[in-house]
Chains A and B, each alone.
Chain A
Amino acid sequence: MSYFAVPKISRRVLKVWLRNRDVFMKTYKVNFLPPFLEPLLYLFALGFGLGRYIDVIEGISYVKFIAPALIAISVMNSSFFECTFGSYVRMYYQKTFDAIIATPLSIEEVITGELLWGATRSLIYATIMLPVIAAFGLIELPSSLLIIPFSFIAGFLFATIGMCFTAITPNINSLNYPTFLFITPMFLFSGTFFPLALLPEPIQYFALATLPLTHVVRITRALTLANLSGFLLLSLAWIVLVSLILFVLAVNLMKRRLIV
Chain B
Amino acid sequence: MRVVVCIVSVIVAEDLTKQFGEFVAVDSVSFAVGEGEVFGFLGPNGAGKTTTMKMIQCVSPKTAGKLTVFGMEVSTHQREIKKLLGVVPQENNLDPDFTVHENLMVYSRYFDIPRTSAERIIAELLDFVQLSHKKDTLIEQLSGGMKRRLILARALINTPRMLILDEPTIGLDPQARHLIWDKIKSLQSQGITVVLTTHYLEEAARLCDRLVIMDYGKILVQGKPDELVREYIGTDIVEAENDPKVIACLERNASSYDVLGGRVQVYTNNPQEITYALLKECELGQITARSATLEDVFLKLTGKKLRE
| A residues adjacent to B (C-beta < 8 A) | 12, 15, 18-19, 22-23, 26, 94-96, 98-106, 259-260
Chain B residues near A259 (CB, 8 Å)? 59-61
How far does the Cβ of A245 sit from chain B's closest Cβ, in whole Å? 26
- Given contacts A102-B87, A259-B60, A15 and B78 within 8 Å (CB-CB): no
When chains A and B are docked, how far (Å) is the Cα of A19 from the Cα of B102? 10
Is the Cβ of B89 less than 8 Å from the Cβ of A104?
no
Chain A residues near B147 (CB, 8 Å)? none
- Given contacts A23-B98, A106-B78, A259-B60, A100 and B110 within 8 Å (CB-CB): yes
- Interface residue SS majority, chain B: loop
Is the Cβ of A102 less than 8 Å from the Cβ of B96?
no
Is the Cβ of A22 less than 8 Å from the Cβ of B102?
yes
* Among all A-B residue pairs, the 5 with the closest Cβ atoms: A95-B93, A103-B110, A99-B93, A23-B97, A102-B87
Which of B89, B109, B110 has the most CB atoms of chain A within a 10 A radius of its CB? B110
Is the Cβ of B78 less than 8 Å from the Cβ of A103?
no
Chain A residues near B87 (CB, 8 Å)? 102
Is the Cβ of B110 less than 8 Å from the Cβ of A96?
no
When chains A and B are docked, how far (Å) is the Cα of A98 from the Cα of B95? 11
- Given contacts A104-B83, A104-B110, A99 and B78 within 8 Å (CB-CB): no
Chain A residues near B102 (CB, 8 Å)? 22
Q: Which residue of A lies closest to B86 (CB)?
A: A102
Chain A residues near B91 (CB, 8 Å)? 95, 98
Is the Cβ of B60 less than 8 Å from the Cβ of A260?
yes
A18, A98, A103: the one within 8 Å of B111 (CB): A103
Chain A residues near B110 (CB, 8 Å)? 12, 15, 100, 103-105
Q: Which of under 10, 10 to 19, 20 to 34, or 35 or more describes the interface residues of B?
A: 20 to 34
Chain A residues near B85 (CB, 8 Å)? 102
Is the Cβ of A26 less than 8 Å from the Cβ of B97?
yes
How far does the Cβ of A114 sit from chain B's closest Cβ, in whole Å? 14
How far does the Cβ of B163 sit from chain A's closest Cβ, in whole Å? 12
A18, A101, A104, A260: the one within 8 Å of B20 (CB): A260
Is the Cβ of A106 less than 8 Å from the Cβ of B79?
yes
Known: A15-B109, A98-B91, A105-B110. 19 other contacts (CB 8 A): A22-B102, A23-B97, A94-B95, A95-B93, A96-B93, A98-B89, A99-B95, A99-B107, A102-B59, A102-B89, A103-B82, A103-B110, A103-B111, A104-B82, A104-B111, A104-B112, A259-B59, A259-B60, A260-B60
**Is residue B68 within 8 Å, beta carbon to beta carbon, of the partner chain?**
no
Q: Which residue of A lies closest to B151 (CB)?
A: A99
Chain A residues near B83 (CB, 8 Å)? 104
How far does the Cβ of A85 sit from chain B's closest Cβ, in whole Å? 14
When chains A and B are docked, how far (Å) is the Cα of A12 from the Cα of B102? 19
Q: Would you give the 0/1 interface string for B122-140, flagging 1 where the beta carbon is closer than 8 Å to chain A?
A: 0000000000000000000
**Is residue B169 within 8 Å, beta carbon to beta carbon, of the partner chain?**
no
When chains A and B are docked, how far (Å) is the Cα of A259 from the Cα of B55? 11
- Given contacts A26-B97, A96-B93, A104-B82, A19 and B61 within 8 Å (CB-CB): no
When chains A and B are docked, how far (Å) is the Cα of A229 from the Cα of B92? 54
Is the Cβ of B111 less than 8 Å from the Cβ of A22?
no
Is the Cβ of B59 less than 8 Å from the Cβ of A101?
yes
**Is residue B106 within 8 Å, beta carbon to beta carbon, of the partner chain?**
yes
Chain A residues near B106 (CB, 8 Å)? 18-19, 22
Chain B residues near A23 (CB, 8 Å)? 97-98
When chains A and B are docked, how far (Å) is the Cα of A19 from the Cα of B94? 13
**Is residue B198 within 8 Å, beta carbon to beta carbon, of the partner chain?**
no
